[in-house]
């Protein structure tokens, strides 16, 4: 097993024979062994798969029911050496009734029988010809040599992993308005298993996929759905074995229709707990009415396993992976940024904005957003003043691109060299210009901000900030320099996304504007505060603070899910496999935490800016952190990674 709250699950559609319980038990056992060999610790099998879902009136036969009980007993014995929780569909007679159940068993012990539910006011029970709905309250039964609970109120808690609390639904339980899974999740279940037999018709697979995704999102859980497949009777129906593994609204794995397989994925149950803690409207209910059964996976449970995760971890969590999704996301974000600025301009009755343009990505995005906001307001683009303020590190390439960009957008362009003013300031404070320290750099940033603010005062406009989310996380901004503005349009945009937004505009517009944007995209990220070398940029930000793609990855999982350094590190190893070494990732992760904690004071007094995603650092509601919080616990955890 894998640590960090991940839990490996499998959805299996074994080949069966209708009414041949012995054959079906052997087939299920072989599939369970394969799932265990793939590292799964929970495996879900289809509804009534020990007999076949399509037995019809044979379910009334005592011979079939006894055969199913005997087969289940044998299956429990055959899988006793596997560190695997199995959920297998079986018909169970009890107290003069017959129940459609999921038998949950592990390490040679039958734990309980989750019964299919009848939802009040939802019409007749679907299988009333043969089965009764789950008894309420649940009952105790003797079955397959075990005394166990039967009902729809069962929770199964894994002793080795507190995050793993399992509940079970059966087929149509997923499709109704108020599912048993809703009650189970509200009582603490983080993992729901569904033994299903959903026949295939045109269009149903898409709906089924949507149901699993929506269900897992609504209940903040992981959801494993196993569908009946090969061997079920085709008298009137066909079954495709459409298996799905979902987590909080996302389908992690999906089988091909009519292609039997052991579908495996790692679900993040730790993330589910964080989501519930973070979502204050999430409310635990009905815990008193639930029956909780503890179970153990035994010695075979590899809690500290190092095998690769069976799930895709994107190195760019802020960026949609599909090109069509990326385009839609870029258009929406640009619109949200522009709408935020538009609203602020309308409220303040401002018809002019001032933007410091460097020829870099952040100021380019801010200028593009301002142009869009002015169009939405019906204001002339001449109301945008793009100001280039060349200093000691400005290169001809960036200065030229800044001017070209402003011209292509129809904005006014102004150049205000700051070298003489900064040198005068150095003389005033007694600083040697040959000393290229933080004072040398920050004096330029603060001089530029003063110029922008004063120009805005002259025109009755406002300064639009250019700094992005990644810079705020690392504190890579000069306090009361580029750190400050009157409205910060990029404040919730991480650096990795800034690049995609600019590229999106370039591709959509083309022409001369597109050409300028492409050259800006090819320019190294730099504050240009140190003199160039032979006309080229000498100060590259990522050489100093580290690769932004790594920092954005760290930032996403720190803010979005509250993950610890160890879990983020191990996820990064997989996400950036082949791109960065273990030592490199650990080095920059340590720097990220050190800077993130030490630079909070800069984030405690940020200007307003539009929130466009779930991760942002606004001190007014999204991220409230003391400026003097200690990083000791996080650094201690990081230090232990050196020895692993």
In the predicted model, what is the mean pLDDT of residues 315-319? 94
In the predicted model, what is the mean pLDDT of residues 532-555? 76
- DSSP assignment, residue 97? E
Which candidate in 49, 55, 101, 116 is catalytic?
116
In the predicted model, what is the mean pLDDT of residues 507-522? 92
pLDDT for position 323: 76
**Beta pairing class for 85-94 and 97-106:** antiparallel
Coil, helix or strand for 357? coil
Which domains are assigned to the chain? 6-300 (3.60.110.10), 323-641 (3.40.50.620)
pLDDT for position 127: 75
* Cβ atoms 303, 160 nearer than 8 A: yes
Give percent above pLDDT 90 in the chain.
77
Q: In terms of Cα–Cα distance, which of 85, 156, 76, 84 is closest to 108?
A: 76
Identify whether 124 is a catalytic site residue: no
Identify whether 116 is a catalytic site residue: yes
- Tell whether the model's pLDDT for residue 530 goes beyond 60: no
Question: Residue 538 — pLDDT band, cuts 50, 70, 90?
Answer: very low
What mean pLDDT value characterizes the chain? Answer: 91
Give the model confidence (pLDDT) of 299-316 as tens digits: 766 655 557 888 999 999
Question: Residue 534 — pLDDT band, cuts 50, 70, 90?
Answer: low
Give percent above pLDDT 70 in the chain.
92
Tell me how far apart the alpha carbons of residues 184 and 205 are, in angstroms, rounded to a whole number.
Answer: 25
DSSP letters for 125-184: -TTTTT-BPPPSS-EEEEETTEEEEEES-EEEEETT-TT-EEEEEEGGGGTSSS-HHHHH
User: What angle do helix axes 419-429 and 438-459 make, rounded to 10 degrees?
Assistant: 120
In the predicted model, what is the mean pLDDT of residues 77-87? 97
From residue 73, alpha-carbon distances to 174, 324, 566, 627 in Å are 28, 51, 42, 61
- Tell whether the model's pLDDT for residue 536 goes beyond 60: no
- Tell whether the model's pLDDT for residue 459 goes beyond 60: yes
Query: Which range is least confidently modeled, 292-301, 379-388, 578-587?
Result: 292-301
Give the model confidence (pLDDT) of 110-149 as tens digits: 999 999 986 554 445 567 788 988 998 899 999 999 999 9
- Tell whether the model's pLDDT for residue 161 goes beyond 90: yes
pTM: 0.89
Sort residue 10 into left (φ over 0), alpha (ψ -120 to 50) or beta: beta
Q: In terms of Cα–Cα distance, which of 637, 489, 641 is closest to 573?
A: 641
Tell me how far apart the alpha carbons of residues 110 and 76 are, in angstroms, rounded to a whole number.
Answer: 7
Identify whether 221 is a catalytic site residue: no
Question: Residue 267 — pLDDT band, cuts 50, 70, 90?
Answer: very high
Which candidate in 86, 171, 221, 330 is catalytic?
171
Tell me how far apart the alpha carbons of residues 515 and 526 are, in angstroms, rounded to a whole number.
Answer: 20
Which candidate in 21, 47, 352, 590 is catalytic?
47
pLDDT for position 531: 60
């Amino acid at each position: 097993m894998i640590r960090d709250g991940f839990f490996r699950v499998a959805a299996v559609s074994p080949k069966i024979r209708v009414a041949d319980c012995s054959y079906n038990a052997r087939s299920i056992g072989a599939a369970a062994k394969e799932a265990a060999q793939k590292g799964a610790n929970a495996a879900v099998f289809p509804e009534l798969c020990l007999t076949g879902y399509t037995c019809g009136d044979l379910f009334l036969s005592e011979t079939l029911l006894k055969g199913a009980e005997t087969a289940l007993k044998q299956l429990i014995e055959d899988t006793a050496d596997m560190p695997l929780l199995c959920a297998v569909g079986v018909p169970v007679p009890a107290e003069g009734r017959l129940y459609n159940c999921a038998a949950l068993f592990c390490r040679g012990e039958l734990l309980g029988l989750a019964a299919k539910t009848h939802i009040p006011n939802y019409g007749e029970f679907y299988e009333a010809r043969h089965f009764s709905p789950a008894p309420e309250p649940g009952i105790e039964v003797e079955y397959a040599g075990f005394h166990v609970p039967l009902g729809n109120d069962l929770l199964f808690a894994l002793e080795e992993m507190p995050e793993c609390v399992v509940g079970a639904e059966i087929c149509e339980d997923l499709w109704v308005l108020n599912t048993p899974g809703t009650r189970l999740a509200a009582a603490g279940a983080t993992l729901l298993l569904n033994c299903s037999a959903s026949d295939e018709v045109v269009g149903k697979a898409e709906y089924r996929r949507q149901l699993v995704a929506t269900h897992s999102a609504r209940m903040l859980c992981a959801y494993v759905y196993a569908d009946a497949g090969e061997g079920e009777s085709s008298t009137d129906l066909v079954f495709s074995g459409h298996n799905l593994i979902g987590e909080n609204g996302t389908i992690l794995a999906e089988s091909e229709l009519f292609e039997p397989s052991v579908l495996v994925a790692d679900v993040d149950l730790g993330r589910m707990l964080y989501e519930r803690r973070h979502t204050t409207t999430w409310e635990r209910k009905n815990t008193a009415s639930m029956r909780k059964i503890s179970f153990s996976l035994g010695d075979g449970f590899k809690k500290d396993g190092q095998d690769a995760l069976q799930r895709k971890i994107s190195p760019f969590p802020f960026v949609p992976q599909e090109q069509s999704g990326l385009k839609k996301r870029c258009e929406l974000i640009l619109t949200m940024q522009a709408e935020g600025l538009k609203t602020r301009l309308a409220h303040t009755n401002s018809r002019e904005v001032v933007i410091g343009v460097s020829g870099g990505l952040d100021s380019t995005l801010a200028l593009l957003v301002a142009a869009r906001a002015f169009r939405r307001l019906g204001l002339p683009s001449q109301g945008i003043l793009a100001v280039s303020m060349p200093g000691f590190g400005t290169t001809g390439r960036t200065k030229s691109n800044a001017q070209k960009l402003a011209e292509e957008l129809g904005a006014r362009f102004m150049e205000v060299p700051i070298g003489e003013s900064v040198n005068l300031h150095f003389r005033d404070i007694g600083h040697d210009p040959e000393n290229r320290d933080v004072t040398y750099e920050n004096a330029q940033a603060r001089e530029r901000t003063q110029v922008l603010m004063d120009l805005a005062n002259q025109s009755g406009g406002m300064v639009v900030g250019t700094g992005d989310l990644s810079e705020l996380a690392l504190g890579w901004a000069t306090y009361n320099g580029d750190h400050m503005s009157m409205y910060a349009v990029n404040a919730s945009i991480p650096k990795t996304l800034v690049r995609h937004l600019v590229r999106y505009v370039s591709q959509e517009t083309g022409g001369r504007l597109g050409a300028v944007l492409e050259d800006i995209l090819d320019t190294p990220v730099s504050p240009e505060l140190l003199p160039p070398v032979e006309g080229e940029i000498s100060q590259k930000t990522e050489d100093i603070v580290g690769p932004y793609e790594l920092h954005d990855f760290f930032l996403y999982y720190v803010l979005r899910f509250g993950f610890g350094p160890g879990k983020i590190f191990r996820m990064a190893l997989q996400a950036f496999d082949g791109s960065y070494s273990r030592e490199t990732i650990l080095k920059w992760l340590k720097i990220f935490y050190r800077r993130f904690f030490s630079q909070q004071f800069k984030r405690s007094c940020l200007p307003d800016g539009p929130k466009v995603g779930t991760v942002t650092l606004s001190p007014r509601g999204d991220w409230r952190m003391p400026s003097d919080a200690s990083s000791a616990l996080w650094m201690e955890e990081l230090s232990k990674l050196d020895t692993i």
